[in-house]
C-alpha cells in the first residue's frame, strides 16, 4: 500500500472476516494464509487532509497479482480484488 494516512479494509482470514484499520501509511502490510478459490479484497482510502495518490497491491509469494493507483484532489481510494488459484 502507498499513502500517508489511509483507512484500510481487507479480509483478515480464510473465512473472509472483514477488518478495518485507521490511520495507516505506506509501511502497512498484511500477510495471511488463504485457501484456493478464496476471494482477496483490499481497499485503501485517503483520510489525510492533503490530496494524494493511493496505491493498493495484492502479492502472492512476493509476486504482484494486482495493483491499482488512484488520485483525486480531495480524496483518493484504491480497490483491488483477486481470487487465489
The answer to whether residue 24 sits within a structural domain is yes
At residue 73 the predicted structure's pLDDT band, cuts being 50, 70 and 90, is low
The domain total for the chain is: 1
CA distance 47 to 55: 13
- Give the chain's length: 85
Residue 1: inside a domain, yes or no?
no
Which DSSP category does 15 fall into?
Answer: T
User: CA 71, CA 14: separation in Å to the nearest integer?
Assistant: 31
In a domain, 23, yes or no: yes
The phi and psi torsions of 73 (rounded to 5 degrees) equal: -60, -30
Indicate whether 59 belongs to any domain.
Answer: yes
Confidence of residue 85 (pLDDT cuts 50, 70, 90): low
Domain that holds residue 12: 6-83
- Contact of 79 with 64, CB cutoff 8 Å: no
17 lies in some domain: yes
User: Could you report the per-residue pLDDT of 1-45, keeping only the tens digit for each?
Assistant: 788 888 898 988 878 889 999 999 999 999 887 778 888 888 888
The pTM (predicted TM-score) of the whole model is: 0.78
- Tell me if 62 is assigned to some domain: yes
Amino acid at each position: 500500500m502507498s499513502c500517508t494516512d489511509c483507512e484500510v479494509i481487507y479480509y483478515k482470514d480464510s473465512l473472509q472476516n472483514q477488518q478495518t484499520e485507521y490511520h495507516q501509511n505506506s509501511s502497512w502490510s498484511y500477510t495471511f494464509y488463504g485457501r484456493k478459490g478464496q476471494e482477496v479484497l483490499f481497499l485503501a482510502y485517503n483520510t489525510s487532509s492533503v490530496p494524494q495518490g493511493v496505491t493498493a497491491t495484492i502479492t502472492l509469494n512476493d509476486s504482484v497479482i494486482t495493483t491499482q493507483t488512484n488520485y483525486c484532489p480531495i480524496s483518493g481510494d484504491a480497490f483491488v480484488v483477486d481470487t487465489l488459484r
